[in-house]
Structures are given as C-alpha cells and as structure tokens.
Structure 1
Amino acid sequence: MTTRKSDDIQIAHDENQDLGYGAGQETYSKAVEFLAGHSSEQPDFTYEEEKAVLRRIDLRVLILVLWAYFFQQLDKSTLSYVSIFGIADDAHLVGLQYSWLGSILYLAQLVMQPLAALVLVKLPTGKVLASAIFLWGSSLVIMSSCTNFPSLLGLRFVLGSFESLIAPCCVAITQMWWRRSEQTLRVSYWSAMNGVTSIIGSLLTYGLGHIHSTVLYRYQTIFMFCGLLTVAYSFLVFWLMPDSPVDAKYLNEREKFIATERLRANQMGIVTQKWRWDHVLEVALDLKTYCWFCAILSISIASGGITTFGSLIVKSFGYSSFETILFNIPFGVVQVIAIIGAGWIATRTQRKGLVISGLSILPAIGAILMLTVPRKQKGVLLFGYYLALQVSTLAGITPMLYAWQAQNTAGDTKKKCTSGVVFVGMCAGNVIGPLLFSTEDAPLYRKGLIADLAMFVTVGVLSGLIPIYLAYLNKKHEKMRVELGKSGHVADMSMLRKNQLKVNKAAELENVPEQKASVAQDKGLLDVTDLKNEDFIYVY
C-alpha cells in the first residue's frame, strides 16, 4: 500500500521544530508518517479488533521477552546453583572471592549502563536483544573452561557486561508495545520468569549435578549446558523479534495501524533513535530520578546478598546439597504466583506505592525470623527465608519499581536514560549486597541480615512518599492545561482497564470531553518529556 505524505505530517514536523525537537526527523517521522498516512484510510478500530491485535502481540513479543529474561536469570544464577557443588574448593576460592564473583556481574552491569542506554536509543531494539543473548550465552560457555578465581572473575565481568542490556531492553519493549494500563502485568510476567528459573534451573542443576566426569568439574558442566541453550535461543530471537509495531512483518497493515494508534494515549513519545542531551539534563534534574534510584538501590542491596548466598543460607539450616536444590522448586512456584499476584493487585488498585509499601513488611518479618530463631528450628528458618526472598523481595517489589518508573517517564532518550539510572541503582545494590555477607559469617550471617532488614524498611517508607510527589506533579500539569485553555481535569485513557476500554470504544466515556487529538496536534507522538508535556498524567 502506498500513501502520499499529507499536509498533516508537515504540520507535525513544524510543531516539533517549534518545540526544539527538529533533529533526527528522518527516523522520528516513520511512525508519525505511518499513522498520518493511514488515519484517513483506516476507520476507527473496535474493542474486539484491539483485543485481537493485543493477543497477537502477547503471543509473539511477550513470549520472546519472557524466555529472554528466563535465560538471563538462568545464566546469572548458575553461580548460586553451583555454590553447593563445591566450586569454592574446585576453583580454590578463599575469603571474599566467592562474594566477588557474585558482585562483579552487577559491577559490570553498572559500568555498562550508560553504553546500554546509548545502544538502545541508537539501534533497533529487537536486534539489540538478540545480540545480547548470543553474546552472554557465549560468555557462559567460555566460562566453563575457567578453573581459578582470576579467570572466573574476568568471564563473570564479561557476562554481566552483555547482560546489562536485558532489563533495560525488556522495559523499552514493554513501553513500545503496550498501553500503560497493560504494562504493569507485562513487567510482572517477564519478571515472574525468576520463579520459572528457580524451577527449571533447579531441576537442570539437580540432574547435571549427578554427572561425575573425570574431565570436567560439575560447575563446568552446568555452565556449558546453560550457555549452549542460551546461544541456541538467541537465533530464535533474531528470526522472530520485530523492532517496533511499524516494522512487525507478522502484522498486516491494519494490525500495524491499531498496534501503533492504541499507544498514543500513553503520551510517552515515539522511538526516534536520536540521542537528546536536553533529555539527559532533565533526567539529572528530575527529583523522580533520585526517588527511583534510592528505592531500587535499597531493595537490590537486600536481594543481592540473599540471592547470592541463598543456597548457602538454606544449606546452613542443616539440609544437604541436593535437598537445598530441590527446595528452590516450590519456592519458584510461589514466586511466580506472588509476582503476577502483586502485579494484578497494583493494576486493579492503580496504587503501586501502597502495594510496594505493603510488600516490604513481609521480607522485614522474614529477616527478623532468620536473625532470632535458633538454628535447630529448620522449618521456621526456611519460612523466614521464604518471606525474605522468594515472596517479597524479587517477587513483588523489584518488578513493580521497574514498571512504576517506566509508566512515569516520557521522551525517548529520557525513558532510556531513566531506565539506565534505575538499573545502575539495581546493579550498585547487587554489588554491595553480596559483600555484606561472607562465608566466614556462616551459619548466622547476622551482619548481612541486619543490613537487609534496614533496606526493607527504607524501600517501604520511600514507596509511601513517592505518590505524594507524583500527585503534586499532576496538579502542576492540571494548572498548565488550564492556562493553555484546555480542560483541567482529563481522563487518563492509557490507564483504562479492559472493561473500561470496551465502554470507551462504544461511547468515548460519558461525561469526559473528547481527548483524541489529530496526529499533528498530539504531543504523545512528539519526542517530549513528561515534565514538558502538560497532557502527561503521572500514575501512583
């Protein structure tokens, strides 16, 4: 289908120039030209059509993201799995060397975040994701040849460098393909692969751990097997993952139009592949940036230590190596339920701050149990560990923070940079966390558990305060709209749930003014940041 570039597109370009967004229009205009060129030909889509397109997106894009995140978690977690099979003795690790093998991966991710943000702005997201999977899988395969601390440390750094792209990439893809009302659950879905990793990874490790070779240590066998699986999956992502809704070859023209048009209400901008230094400056001056950073840093310090030392902590309760591995399987099931359940509650209540604050109570109780209960009460200690890690820390809070910051940021470069800052906080926390624990502190690990308890309290308090600031920003935007002659009170169309969307398609929401702007007038299609777009509505 060919279309003539309309005057509407030129108007959109002119408005963008007036706002100071003129650079990089060749790439920017791709989605705008697609919508403007098709809006006169394509009738308004129905709720049923949108639902069908959403299902197709979930079946292709979401499933590919789910398993990409699974393999990243699997490859990252292999160190924890092999810890109970004697890697410390086989590789002659002493003192804090095992702790550093846990921390170095996140240190690499921290160092690489600025480059990751630049790569995600400049290059097609689908190709970036596939390349990253191939490279970190190859790194894990090579790591199977390492038999001492320096070589393991170096390869763990390389592994972390390539894995630094996965979480920002998953967030960028979520922002690119789904409405804001749909994003929390999608983030929960791919985060829930942590639990799936615990199940499948434990079963794989249990089986591979029984292999006794005269050539390879057991940890080398596990590294090689998981790495080769990851490399194989990367080719599937290269083949099937589209770079954007406009470029999705598996969608027809009508479906591409619906997939792109339905996201206008997000008011989060369009992918431009143009680096914007004014966006970078706004990230540095935006108070929200520091709120997200402090919250993710706190929970990552707590989760980093417990994750790296989790298997050793459970083993210290008096369980054997293979019992410890098998305990991860029911934990993984509960983790999947907890992540998706927390996402569902946050979506229904539209109050992420309160949900996170409530979730932070559970790991605090778990940490207190592990600090106070005698070692002979293995069942109670296991329950405390279950609360501190499997249900709340990774299962509820971390993915909720990913989704929360993503839904409250607009502008292509600003979105990628804010995600980068958040992941710097996540990486820094995961570097610090394992260093608060030491094998010399076994079996009580008091120093690390006390630090974790303080972090759980911190993230709970912060998450309760952030919505107050977001409410202030919404009031500020309401005032801006009134000054520009717009309606002060508007409905956030991007946060409507399925039943509300169905009503909206039929009646455009009773008692709500018409809010659907033309392609030329809609700032949701311009590369405008959330603070400069008066139509942007922050979510709590």
Structure 2
Amino acid sequence: MSKVGESSQPKNQQEEFVESIEHEEQAPHTVQDEPQVNKAQQDKALQLIEEVGYSTILTPENNKHVLRKIDLRLLPIMLVIYFLQQLDKSTLSYASVFGLQENAHLHGHQYSWLGAVVYVAQLVFQPLVSYLLVKVPMGKFLAASTLCWGIALSCMAAANTFATLMVCRLFLGIFEAGLAPAFIAVTQMWYRRREQPVRLGSWYAMNGVVNMVGSLITYGLGHINSSVFAPYQVIFLFFGLITVAFSSVVFFFMPDSPLKAKFLSEDDKLVAVERLRMNQQGIESHEWKWEHVKESCLDLKSWFWFSLMVSISIPSGGITTFGPLIIESFGFNSLNTILLNVPFGAVQLIATMGGAWLATTWRKKGPVLALLCLPPIAGCIMLLKIPHDDAHKGPLLVGYYIISVYPGITPLIYSWSAANTAGETKKKVTTGILLVGQCVGNIIGPNLYTTDEAPLYHRGLLSNLSLFCVLWLLIMLNMAYLSFLNKKHEKKRVALGKDAKIVDHSMFAVGAVPTDKDGMPVQQVADDNAFKDLTDLQNEDFVYVY
C-alpha cells in the first residue's frame, strides 16, 4: 500500500532502483546489521561501529569533506617520503658521473652490484615486512624506516671502497624494504577502489619529480669545491641528513589508521569507515591468519602480479642505474648529462599521472597498462637501431625519453593488485609476493648492463625490448583470468540466492548509479561481508577489476 501523499502510479525499474540506492546510502547501519564474527579476528572498523552503536550516513558532501582531510594529511607525507626514497636510490647513478667509480676503484660488475644489492636486501626481508605490516602500527613503521635508511645513506659519504659501499647499500635496502608495501597498504586502508589509482600514482610519480628536481639539485651540488669531500660524498651526505630530519615529521604526523587518526573527529572516523564498506576489503586487523597466507601463495593472481612486476622491473632496474651513463654515451659531459635527465623525469611524471587518470576514467587498468607498454617498445628499437654519433644525438635522446613512459606501468600494477585482493593478511602477503617480483627484476636489470658495453649497451636494451613485449602478453592473460573469476563469483552468488550481476560502488562516485549497456541500473554489492576479513576468493560479493 502507498503512504498518504504518495503517487499510486507504478514506478519503472530504474526509478525503483534509484530510490533503493538513496535509501541504502542514507540509512545508517546499526550494530544488529553488522556481521557477527569472532571479535579477536574481526576488522577494527567493526569494533569501532560496535563501540559507537551505529554507522554513519554516507553522502557526497561528507564523503568529499573527509576525503579532502585525508588527502591533505596523508599525501604530503607520502609524497615526501617516496621522493626522498627514490632520490636516495638515485644518488648512486648521480654519483657515478661525479667520480665515484674512479675514487672507489670500481670495475667490471661492481657498479652494477651496488645497484642490485639494495633489491637483494629487500627480497630477503619481504616476508618479515609482510608480517610487520600486519602487526606494527603503520605510522610508527614508516617513521622508523625513514630514520634508519637516512642514516644508512649518510654513512655512504664515508665509504670509499667497493666493500664499504656494498655494506651501506645493503642496509639502505633493508630499511627501504617496507616502504612500497606500506604505501600500498595505506592506500588500501584509506581510499575507495575508485580513488586508489590516482593516489598510488601520485606518490609513485615522485620518480619523475626526482629525475627533474634531483638532477637540478645534484647539478648544483656538483659545483661545490671542497677540500674535505668529493662531489659524490657531498651528494650522499646532503640527501641522507635531509631524510633523517624528515623522519621526525613522519613520527608525529603520520596516522596509524583511519580509526586512530587524531586529525579526524569521531563522526569523520565513521565516515572514513563507511567510505570503504563497498571495497569489500576491510580496513585494519592485527590478526595474522595462516589460511590467508596459504591462499595467497596458491592464488594464480599472485603469480600474475609477480610475473608482471619481474617483467617491468628488469628494464626499470637497468635504466634507473645506467640511465645517466646511457645519456653520457651519446657524447655529453657530466654536467650536461645530469641536466638532460630532467626531461626524462617530466615524461615519467606525465605518464604516471596520465595513466592513473585514464584508469580511473575507464574504471579498468589492464587496457591502460597495455597502452603504456607501446612507447617503451618503440624507444628501445630507436636506441638499438640509430647510430651513436654526433649527428644523431637528438634522435637518440628522443628514443631515451620515449622509454621513460615505463614508470607509469609499475604503480598501475600496484593498484591492480591492491584493488583485486581482500583479507588483511592476504593483502600483505600478496603485496609481499609482488614486491619480491620487483626485487628480482631490479637485481637482474642492472646486471644486464655493464660499463664494458658502453656506448651501445646492446644486451641491456635488447633484453628490455623483449620484456616489454612479454609484459603486454601477461597483461592480456591476467585480464582474461580476472574475467573468469568474476563469472565464477556470479555462479556462487546465484547458488546462494543472490543476484548474479552486481557492481561494486567503490568504483563509482558516491551517489552515482551505475547502469548496464542498455542504460538500466545494476544491483550494487551487498555489504554483509564488508568487515568479516574474508579474502577475495572467499567473498562471493567481491567484484574483480580488470
């Protein structure tokens, strides 16, 4: 029966659905609505809702207000941390054109191993990092990591042999091992799946900023004439001490989670929780679950992420370490080489943020990744085929700059993995597997280049070309597998009496109503599994993004 004052005219399907969505978004969830799970294993978000007695109403207005607060607090800290980390890694390549190899008497593969040992350390420590990220408060973890790696970099100023440089680089790798997985975890913890590509892309885009700003700073430091320090020692000491100083900012201002954030009011915390309900990924749990570990290791997706990261990290590791030397091989002096690395960073920045924006607009990551593989393929071919002489300096630089589109690929793989993994322990373990792949690639990459192969670097460039092609194929296969998993979840939902076709509203703006190809609204994901700390394979309401 209709209420007094309501029209008795029958409503069409779209009108009924829009009203149901508005009711769902405006009606707060009570404690009775929440899934009853073991309190020792439940998500901390569920505990907060139980303590308050209700969840809040999520509207476009309060969502925008809280998202702005989160961005203004988290992003500046994350951007600076990642900027410093990438800058600290790049100091080796900067130092290489300011006499490091000569002063430390490096020869053969020794310089290559100084680039690779950071990733050897990260590879070995990834299992411990995965465990710590579940057990240790996130803000404190990031502050301690930043302090320790800053100290390790500062100590490199006193290293003047291969052995001492190796030790310093080893510790640098150990203390940096948890930063990328921590940032992925932070993005999963604070942002809706729709918002994740741009946020992941923004901090990873610091690679491009480093190549611009870092190159300019290094250019200035290279002009310092000191009777005590060589130019490369000034570079190590300068960037190391800045990192140590910034660790105190991280300690005092980086929150551990949305549930403990002092910059959010009690109502804002509830909005932060409600924002993430539709992710079906939970927010925070410090319970380590071995069944999640097992599932992550047996999940075919985990090994797709691993393979994708190996395929992109081999060229990335080689070009990052040997990039300035490749430019120098075109016939430029040391200072001009540093300046000509600036456009490389600009292209990186545009590719990274452009790719993130396109993935958000299309609500798909696979097609964008496949598109980003094409320019590096063209760039490698140019460097392999164009003669290395004074007459072709310009085309060689263009080829090198085209290759620099590749950094836009890595953050999208991060985002692709993050959006398609649920369960607190499984998220951390899967990220660990992904980072192991990145470490393996970065260990192999620099060793495909050697200073003996200058100026052509034929072996390194040819291997990079092959791997960009392999990467494209792996992207296609992963898209097909994710589509298969969605169909599998559809059958499971039907068996449980649920609608087969559902759309995760975390991929749409708050208040937006997604429609199918005929313009009809599509049922949203049920939220009864949101905070049960289920994995993506266990949760039939989870929708994979390809």
TM-score, normalised to structure 1's length? 0.92
Q: Report if the CA contact (8 A) 1:38-1:257 is conserved.
A: no
CA distance in 1, matches of 2:117, 2:178: 16
Q: Is 1:309 equivalent to 2:309 in the alignment?
A: no
CA RMSD between the two structures: 1.7
1:503 deviation in Å?
A: 3.5
Q: Is 1:385 the counterpart of 2:385 in the alignment? A: no
Structure 2 counterpart of 1:30:
44
Report the CA distance shift for 1:348/1:513 in structure 2 as closer, same or farther (over 3 A).
Answer: closer
Q: Distance in 2 between matches of 1:422 and 1:88?
A: 32
**Where does residue 3 of structure 1 map in the other structure?**
none
Aligned partner of 1:50 among 46, 63, 81: 63
Find out whether 1:528 has 2:534 as its counterpart: yes
Aligned twin of 2:382: 369
Output the CA distance in 2 between the equivalents of 1:516 and 1:432.
45
For residues 113 and 136 of structure 1, the distance between their equivalents in structure 2, rounded to whole angstroms, comes to 16
Deviations 1:434-479 (A, max 9, x none): 0011000010010111111110100011111211100110011011
Q: Which amino acid aligns with 1:444?
A: L
2:436 counterpart residue number: 424
Change (3 A) 1:254 1:288: same
> Which residue of 490, 502, 509 corresponds with 2:511?
502
Q: Whole-Å Cα distance in 2 between the matches of residues 537 and 413 of structure 1? A: 19
Distance 1:50 1:7 in 2: 21
Match of 1:264 among 277, 280, 287: 277
Cα distance, 1:213 vs. partner?
A: 1.5
- Is contact 2:284-2:424 (8 Å) kept? yes
Tell me how far 1:142 sits from its aligned partner: 1.2
Of 304, 315, 340, 1:327 maps to 340
Correspondence 1:391-410 to 2 at 5 A:
391=405, 393-394=406-407, 396-410=408-422
State the secondary structure of the residue aligned to 1:180: coil
User: Following the alignment from structure 1 to structure 2, what is the Cα–Cα distance between the partners of residues 514 and 454?
Assistant: 42
The Cα shift of 1:270 comes to: 3.2
Letter in 2 for 1:8: Q
May I ask how many residue pairs the two structures share in their alignment?
511
Shift of 1:350: 2.1
Deviation at 1:397, TM superposition (A): 0.8
Check 1:39–1:339 CA distance in 2 against 1; reply closer, same or farther (3 A cut).
Answer: farther
Cα distance in structure 2, aligned partners of 1:142 and 1:186: 32
Q: What is the alpha-carbon distance in structure 2 between the residues aligned to residue 417 and residue 221 of structure 1?
A: 39
Moved over 3 A (4+): 6-9, 36-40, 502-505, 509-517
> How far apart, in 1, do the equivalents of 2:412 and 2:443 lie?
21
Deviations 1:197-219 (A, max 9, x none): 11221111111111121211111
* Aligned-pair CA distance for 1:510: 7.6
**What whole-Å deviation, never above 9, does each CA across 1:49-85 have from its counterpart, x for those lacking one?**
1101101100101221111111110111100111111
Compared CA separation, residues 165 and 514, structure 1 to 2 (3 A): closer
Extract unaligned runs of 5+ from structure 1.
1-5
Identity of aligned residues (%): 50
Equivalences for residues 69-468 of structure 1 within 5 A: 69-376=82-389, 377-388=392-403, 390-391=404-405, 393-394=406-407, 396-468=408-480
TM-score, scaled relative to structure 2: 0.91
Cα deviation, residue 38, structure 1: 3.6
8 Å contact from structure 2 (residues 56, 271) kept in 1: no
Question: By percentage of residues, which structure has more helix?
Answer: 1
Deviation digits for residues 409-451 of structure 1 (CA, Å, limit 9, x no counterpart): 0001110011001110001100000001100001001011111
Stretches of structure 2 that go unaligned for 5 or more consecutive residues are 1-29
Q: Deviations over 1:128-182 (max 9, x none)?
A: 1111011101110111110100000011010011111110011000000000000
Q: CA deviation at 1:29?
A: 5.3
Q: CA deviation at 1:512?
A: 4.1
CA drift of 1:33 comes to 2.1
| Contact kept? 1:113, 1:423, Cα under 8 Å | yes
